[in-house]
């Protein structure tokens, strides 16, 4: 497995503002992903963070709302832009290791007022 | 998109009882994964299954990859209080994209 950290662990934000979430892995990984977990719900894939190129977004998620950076093989950021209360969720990064097995970070708990 | 149907949605059991939960889909998957999520934490991988028919154990946990590649189950034997949490099945079809079940919330009465 890998040690995955996320910052911040939680935040309370005002609507209309933006928050950038960081994900750091202790080893180089090819595949990194960002998920959203709305309150009481399961996880939904937002996008695949590609190193050196634009992220690949899933249906229902767009780059203007969730810009993603992946400057190297151990780090990625997800920005939640122009937030509204509906963006209140847990945001999780994951990495693919050992062939089709994903490990998750601890998550960032976001509350938008 | 693809969906995994996980059941039951919740379980209330006595300590020491065995637990069984399953996931089904109308689509074929190449990999099935089972995760546990504790409050305030990210999901933790319990078992990974890569081959149809595969039966894999991890301590008191046993999971199987269905022969049709459209389902999987997870059993927990002799439950203990620390088994409390939400269990998710997940599956990969291509490009390492995970799709998740709705989760099974396990509550244990001591």
Q: Give the β-pairing of A32-37 and A19-25.
A: unpaired
Taking the CA of residue A49 as centre, how many other CA atoms within 13 Å lie in the half-sphere pointing to its CB? 28
Burial B3-20 (b: 16+ CB within 10 A, else e): ebebeeeebeeeeeeebe
Cross-strand pairs, B99 = B91
Q: How far is B50 from chain A (nearest CA, A)?
A: 9
Q: Which of A31, A48, A101 sits opposite B33 (nearest CB)?
A: A101
pLDDT at A73: 94
pLDDT tens by residue, A41-75: 999 999 999 888 889 999 999 999 999 999 999 99
Contact B22, B74 (CB under 8 A): yes
Question: Minimal Cα distance from B88: which residue of A?
Answer: A42
Specify the pLDDT at position B47: 96
CB A88 within 8 A of CB A110: yes
In this predicted structure, the answer to whether residue B1 has a pLDDT above a threshold of 60 is no
**CB of B70 closer than 8 Å to CB of B25:** yes
pLDDT average, residue stretch B54-69:
96
Please state, as a whole number, how many other Cβ atoms lie within 10 Å of the Cβ of residue A33: 26
Which site among B42, B46, B87 would you substitute to test the A interface, given the most A Cβ atoms closer than 10 Å to its Cβ? B42
Q: What is the CA radius of gyration of chain B?
A: 13
Nearest-CB residue to A42 (from B42, B88, B96): B88
Whether the pLDDT of residue B30 is over 70: the answer is yes
User: Which residues of chain A have a CB within 8 Å of the CB of B101?
Assistant: 42
Question: What gap in Å lies between CA A89 and CA A74, rounded to an integer?
Answer: 24
pLDDT of residue B23: 97
As a whole number of angstroms, the distance between CA B65 and CA B68 comes to 8
Residue B106's alpha-carbon distances to A39, B6, B15, in angstroms, are 17, 13, 11
Is B97 or A66 the better-scoring residue by pLDDT? Answer: A66
Rounded Cα distance, A101 and B50, in Å: 10
Phi, then psi, of A86 in degrees rounded to 5:
-65, -15
* A73-91 pLDDT tens trace: 999 999 999 999 999 999 9
């Amino acid at each position: 497995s890998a040690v995955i950290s996320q910052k911040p662990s939680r935040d309370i934000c005002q609507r209309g503002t933006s928050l950038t979430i960081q994900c750091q892995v202790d080893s180089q990984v090819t595949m990194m992903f960002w998920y959203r977990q709305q309150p009481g719900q399961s996880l939904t894939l937002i996008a695949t963070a590609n190193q050196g190129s634009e992220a690949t977004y899933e249906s229902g998620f767009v780059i203007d709302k969730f810009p993603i950076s992946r400057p190297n093989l151990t780090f990625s950021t997800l920005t939640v832009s122009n937030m509204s209360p509906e963006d209140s969720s847990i945001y999780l990064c994951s990495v693919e290791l050992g062939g089709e097995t994903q490990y998750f970070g601890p998550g960032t708990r976001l509350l938008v007022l | 998109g693809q969906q995994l149907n996980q059941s039951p949605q919740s379980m209330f059991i006595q300590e020491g009882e065995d637990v069984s939960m399953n996931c089904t889909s109308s689509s074929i998957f190449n990999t099935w994964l089972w995760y546990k999520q504790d409050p305030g934490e990210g999901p933790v991988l319990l078992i990974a299954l890569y081959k149809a028919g595969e039966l894999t154990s991890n301590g008191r946990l046993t999971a199987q990859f269905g022969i049709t590649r459209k389902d999987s189950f997870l059993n927990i034997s002799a439950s203990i209080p620390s088994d409390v949490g939400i269990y998710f099945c997940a599956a990969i079809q291509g490009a390492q994209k995970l799709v998740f079940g709705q989760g099974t919330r396990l509550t244990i009465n001591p």
